[in-house]
Amino acid sequence: HPCAITAPRFVVKMSAIATKNTRVESLEVKPPAHPTYDLKEVMQLALSEDAGNLGDVTCKATIPLDMESDAHFLAKEDGIIAGIALAEMIFAEVDPSLKVEWYVNDGDKVHK
Q: What is the mean pLDDT of residues 73-96?
A: 90
Per-domain residue ranges of the chain: 16-110
Q: Would you state the pLDDT for residue 29? A: 62
Q: Per-residue pLDDT tens for 3-50? A: 444 444 444 454 455 555 555 555 566 666 666 667 888 888 888 877
- Cβ neighbors of 110 (< 8 A, separation 6 or more) are 75, 78, 79, 80, 81, 104
Assigned architecture for domain 16-110: Alpha-Beta Complex (3.90)
SS3 63: coil
pTM above 0.85?
no
